[in-house]
């Protein structure tokens, strides 16, 4: 069984995340979407809300499981018997941070390989942060996120 972990904040899940999950599913038998507790980042959506929005969207894809994790990613990967970590790369601006994380994770556990996937072009400019900003200002996010996420955003801001 080839299993990969796709970690992130998913605050909230966007069409870009779903695109990466679909691509990862073509390469792995099972993809575990792992939501980081991330207390430092002051998320808009609580952990439970972020998990629920993923359950309503990503979990509908075959062989995709939603989990939460706290602590070191490589330890979580080991516990789940996953040999790979998936990350999305949008632009050069993602590269430096992702490169540092990937090499540090390799130093912590050389058995876990990080794999970068590029989303469909139209999602290159998409991030949870920009979606929240547009929604906060009353803009239309319906082409950027699943319907349940658009509804959850409008409940947060109106």
Where does this chain bind ligand ADP (CB under 6 A)?
8-10, 14, 16-17, 20, 87-88, 90, 94, 119, 123, 126-128
For residues 82-101, b (16+ Cβ closer than 10 Å) or e, as one string? Answer: bbbbbbbbbeeeeeeebeee
Task: Specify the 3-state DSSP secondary structure of 68.
Answer: strand
Interatomic CA distance for residues 68 and 131, integer angstroms: 22
Tokens 């069409």 belong to: 15
Minimum CB distance to ligand ADP smaller for 39 or for 158: 39
Helix residue ranges, H only, 45-138? 47-56, 73-79, 92-108, 128-136
Is residue 128 annotated as a catalytic residue, yes or no?
A: yes
Active-site position among 65, 90, 106, 156: 90
Task: Find the shortest distance in angstroms from Cβ 144 to ligand ADP.
Answer: 9
Active-site position among 9, 17, 25, 87: 17
Task: Find the shortest distance in angstroms from Cβ 155 to ligand ADP.
Answer: 20
Minimum CB distance to ligand ADP smaller for 69 or for 123: 123
Minimum CB distance to ligand ADP smaller for 94 or for 109: 94
- Please provide the distance, in angstroms rounded to a whole number, between the alpha carbons at the two ends of the chain: 45
Is residue 41 annotated as a catalytic residue, yes or no?
A: yes
Catalytic residue positions, numbered: 17, 41, 90, 128
């Amino acid at each position: 069984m080839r299993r990969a972990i796709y970690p992130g904040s998913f605050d909230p899940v966007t069409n870009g995340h779903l695109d990466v999950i679909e691509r990862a599913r073509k390469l792995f038998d099972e993809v575990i979407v792992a939501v980081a507790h991330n207390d430092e980042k002051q998320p808009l959506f609580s952990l439970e809300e972020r998990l629920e929005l993923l359950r309503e969207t990503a979990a509908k894809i075959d062989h995709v499981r939603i989990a939460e994790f706290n602590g070191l990613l490589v330890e979580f990967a080991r516990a789940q018997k996953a040999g790979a970590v998936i990350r999305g790369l949008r632009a050069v601006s993602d590269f430096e941070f992702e490169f540092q994380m990937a090499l540090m994770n390799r130093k912590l556990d050389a058995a876990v390989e990080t794999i970068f996937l590029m989303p469909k072009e139209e999602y290159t400019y998409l991030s949870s942060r920009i979606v929240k900003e547009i929604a906060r200002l009353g803009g239309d996010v319906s082409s950027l996120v699943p319907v349940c996420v658009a509804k959850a955003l409008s409940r947060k801001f109106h």
